[in-house]
Amino acid sequence: MRARLAMRGMRSTRDSRPSAAEQHTSWSGRLARRVAVLMLVNVMVDTVIGAPLLVLPDMLDHFGTDQAAWLNASAMLAGAMWAPLLGRSADLYGTRRVLVTTLLMCCAGALVCLVAPNIWVFITGRLLQGAAVAAMFLTVALVRQLCAPGIAMTAVGVVTSGSAILGAVSPFFFAALAEEFGFRSVFVVSAVLAAVAAACVRRLIPESPTRAGGRLDIAGAVLLGGGLAAVLSYVSLGSQYGWFAAGPLALLIGGGAVLARWAVPARRIPEPVIDIRNVSRPLALTLLVVVLSTGAYQSTLQLLSLIADVAPADGLGYGLPAQGTLGPLFAAPSVGIMAGGALAGWLATRIGPAPTLAGGVAIGTVATIGMYLSISHFYAALVFAGLLGFAAGAIVTSGFNMATSVAPVASQGVVTGLVQVMLAVGSVLMNMVGTAVLTSTTVVVGGEETNSATGVHTCIAIAAVAFVAAMLAATILTRLRQPLTVLHNKEPPGL
């Protein structure tokens, strides 16, 4: 009896692989429409994560608080909590169904933020909106399940990076909108986009034919997500309130205990939310490359606003002329992300995702070193900022492509969720390191504390070191003899 049940479970996973007739085998008008819908989903994600930062001072004034870290990081931290649960749910119940549910949660979260009477209700809305972080990796899982190997990687590149082009104009749009209607208008746009995206996905995207066998380990997902969120909260808040302050320290100890509580049973139960026993060496190396390189380029790109806010005449050893230069400086990375993601997807179908990932890391290393040398020269900074954005697009696209190419088809939701968690972890950790460095190296100019050239140079140097470490891991990855399963349409033995 047990043997028959086991064989039935195996068939439910293997027979669920999409047949060639069910997959897109070439570009067509229908595929273009579906890719456009999934790009719209990622545009909504950008409004959830990035747009509130543009109106952060207004939100702080409205709620009468200085808790910028909570208002800023709550959605990203919630995304780390949601990712394991939603990724596994997608494998079990259907990726489109879970994506639509996620978008409706984002819409509900935006509406809660819109009517929030106090900061705690507002943060509750942001926690619901954090499900948007899962929406990005679910779009990748859908592409990989609905497209044939020959075009899937290119489509992933377009879906993950295509929305970045709006990054060049969205700050101006949201700034003007907030100026006219107040900061709440940002959440009106997010709610509308989420509702429209949910309707379009429900109407135009077919359900993935892939289903994994088994059940949902809800307790494990809650423990894993909650532990990750608590530890990342410590990293995010520690630099502001003190690494050994009671609150942040309680988050670290509690999060570590919760993760330990998850890890022990996860090695024993048959169907954990993430089977850490079967994580393959290629997948582990891919996640390592993603966490290192993501943190490196995110921390460097976020220095742009700091560098641009200082004039060369201030004599600090860094700074850029502000008049007429800020727009191009912030638009260059967005254009680079779109170009890098699309090109990386196209190249991956020809040379494989591992060499493409290594190439993106190499370009990021060069761009970071270039930023180190050009923080007082506008045109050089413009070129290297665009190149860094190009590397970011290539790394994100190649990270998703590489991870999904070495994982079973029925585990695409879990694997893309792992990559998304690494993106969040890398960003938070490196930003924490950068904040600590800048805080400890300030200088006093005109009676006010400001960041020093030593701090800025040190932050860029740390990012360069992280890129070099990622390059070493990526080189090892390219030398593995692991077959490119996505190109040969074979089922790998495990994660």
Domain finish residue from 165, 194, 212: 212
For residues 298 and 228, state if they share a domain: no
Q: What is the pLDDT of residue 370?
A: 92
Compute the distance between CA of residue 231 and CA of residue 253 in angstroms, rounded to an integer: 8
Q: What is the pLDDT of residues 329-373, one digit of tens each?
A: 778 888 899 999 999 999 998 899 999 999 999 999 999 999 888
Q: What is the pLDDT of residue 495?
A: 56
For residues 159 and 253, state if they share a domain: no
| pLDDT category of residue 166 using cuts at 50, 70 and 90 | confident
Q: What is the pLDDT of residue 215?
A: 78
Please, are residues 471 and 365 in contact by the beta-carbon 8 Å criterion? yes
Q: What is the pLDDT of residue 213?
A: 67
Compute the distance between CA of residue 310 and CA of residue 375 in angstroms, rounded to an integer: 10
For residues 221 and 208, state if they share a domain: no
Count CB neighbours of 25 within 10 A: 13
* Phi, psi (rounded to 5 degrees) for 364: -60, -35
For residues 323 and 428, state if they share a domain: yes
For residues 158 and 267, state if they share a domain: no
Closest CA to 441 of 432, 454, 429, 431: 454
Query: Does residue 385 lie in a domain region?
Result: yes
Q: Is it the case that residue 482 has pLDDT exceeding 50?
A: no
Residue 419's DSSP bridge partners are: none
Domain that includes residue 331, residue range: 278-495
For residues 349 and 244, state if they share a domain: no
Domain finish residue from 256, 272, 288: 272
Query: Does residue 6 lie in a domain region?
Result: no
Mean pLDDT of 179-199: 91
Q: What is the pLDDT of residues 215-274, one digit of tens each?
A: 778 888 888 888 888 887 787 777 667 778 888 889 889 999 998 888 887 777 777 777
Q: What is the pLDDT of residue 254?
A: 92
Q: How far apart are the first and last CA of the chain?
A: 28
Residue 449's DSSP bridge partners are: 444
Mean pLDDT of 169-177: 78
DSSP characters over 75-93? HHHHHHHHHHHHHHHHHHH
Please, are residues 426 and 298 in contact by the beta-carbon 8 Å criterion? yes
Q: What is the pLDDT of residue 8?
A: 36
Q: What is the pLDDT of residue 23?
A: 81
Query: Does residue 204 lie in a domain region?
Result: yes
Closest CA to 84 of 426, 413, 409, 424: 413
For residues 463 and 426, state if they share a domain: yes
Compute the distance between CA of residue 235 and CA of residue 43 in angstroms, rounded to an integer: 27
Query: Does residue 485 lie in a domain region?
Result: yes
For residues 191 and 319, state if they share a domain: no
Mean pLDDT estimate for the chain: 82
Query: Does residue 102 lie in a domain region?
Result: yes
Q: What is the pLDDT of residues 16-68, one digit of tens each?
A: 444 444 688 888 888 999 999 999 998 888 888 877 877 877 887 888 876 66
Q: What is the pLDDT of residues 81-110, one digit of tens each?
A: 788 888 888 888 889 999 999 999 999 999
Please, are residues 181 and 161 in contact by the beta-carbon 8 Å criterion? no
Query: Does residue 23 lie in a domain region?
Result: no
Which helix (H) or strand (E) covers residue 159, if one does? helix 149-161
Query: Does residue 13 lie in a domain region?
Result: no
For residues 245 and 328, state if they share a domain: no
Query: From the DSSP assignment, how many helices (H) and strands (E) are in the chain?
Result: 21, 2
Closest CA to 190 of 113, 100, 136: 113
Q: What is the pLDDT of residues 259-307, one digit of tens each?
A: 888 888 777 777 777 777 777 889 999 999 999 999 899 888 878 877 8
Q: Is it the case that residue 12 has pLDDT exceeding 70?
A: no
Domain finish residue from 169, 192, 212: 212
Q: What is the pLDDT of residue 335?
A: 87
* Residue 1 DSSP code: -
For residues 361 and 486, state if they share a domain: yes
* Residue 429 belongs to domain with CATH number: 1.20.1250.20
Within its chain, how far is the Cα of 402 from the centroid? 15
For residues 336 and 228, state if they share a domain: no
Count CB neighbours of 71 within 10 A: 22
Query: Does residue 14 lie in a domain region?
Result: no
Dihedral sign for Cα atoms in the order 457, 461, 462, 464: positive
* Residue 166 DSSP code: G
* Phi, psi (rounded to 5 degrees) for 484: -80, 90
Give percent above pLDDT 70 in the chain.
88
For residues 373 and 346, state if they share a domain: yes
Q: What is the pLDDT of residue 264?
A: 81
What's the domain count of the chain?
A: 3
